[in-house]
Amino acid sequence: MKGIRSDSSHSNYNGAAVTCVAKKEAKWRVEVVRQAVKLDAECFGVQPPAVGPWQRALQSAGGVRPLVFGQYGEFGEGLEKLLEELAVLGAPQAAERYLLEDSLGAVSVQKRLLRQKLVCCVAQAQADVLLSRLHYCLPGWGAAEQRRRRAERGEWQEAARARGLAWDERGGQGGLKRATRARSDRSHPAATQP
């Protein structure tokens, strides 16, 4: 069974130096730059290698710090740096709350608490995703999904009417078909003449 790793070792469970989170961070940086180039071309007609307004704005902001985490609570480098910055900012509160004299200890406590909360949020999100997909494993989910869609579109009334007519055509329990026929016979002008 895998445990949730929430430390800064940046190694995966196989001991590899590059994790999927690190790969995703690298891809995200490239993707944001690609999107900026695309927006410059579409909105302003600026073609590479020229730098357009979107790229200039991205460069002036200092680029992108991707905040990437894995489904088992692994953190990317950008997220680790953000947690470190937040821990330093929250260290005085942690020192006061836990009666710590050492500011370095307060930073460590704050960072551990932030990591713990983030890992719990990631685990909850992962559980929500898995539970939302659970209905695909149950028998008859396809038919139930079609019924839900029809009900959402308001077609459930028409479908119920069609099922009722089909039931009548098969004979149903007999009473409904005979009662309908008797009513239609009474309303017909030929039925009232002697």
pLDDT, average across residues 148-164: 75
The answer on 26 and 112 residing in a single domain is yes
Domain count for the chain: 2
| Cis bond upstream, residue 49 (ω within 30) | yes
The answer on 67 and 146 residing in a single domain is no
Determine contact, residues 100/109, Cβ cutoff 8 Å.
yes
191 located within any domain? no
14 located within any domain? no
The answer on 95 and 24 residing in a single domain is yes
Transcribe 67-98 into DSSP letters.
--B-TTS-B-HHHHHHHHHHHHHHHHHHHHHT
Model pLDDT, residue 14: 58
The answer on 33 and 105 residing in a single domain is yes
Share of the chain above pLDDT 90, in %: 28
Structural domain for 78, as ranges: 20-132
The answer on 109 and 65 residing in a single domain is yes
The answer on 114 and 57 residing in a single domain is yes
Pick from 28-32, 94-98, 126-130, 169-173: least confident: 169-173
pLDDT, average across residues 53-81: 87
The answer on 170 and 81 residing in a single domain is no
The answer on 32 and 123 residing in a single domain is yes
* Mean of per-residue pLDDT scores for the chain: 78
Alpha helix stretches (DSSP H) within 15-155: 20-39, 53-60, 77-97, 103-132, 141-153
Residue count of the chain: 194
Determine contact, residues 44/78, Cβ cutoff 8 Å.
no
The answer on 92 and 175 residing in a single domain is no
Instruction: Return d(Cα 28, Cα 34) in angstroms, integer.
Output: 10
The answer on 162 and 125 residing in a single domain is no
Select from 27, 33, 26, 28 the least CA-distant residue to 51.
33
The answer on 119 and 152 residing in a single domain is no
Domain boundary, last residue among 112, 132, 152 = 132
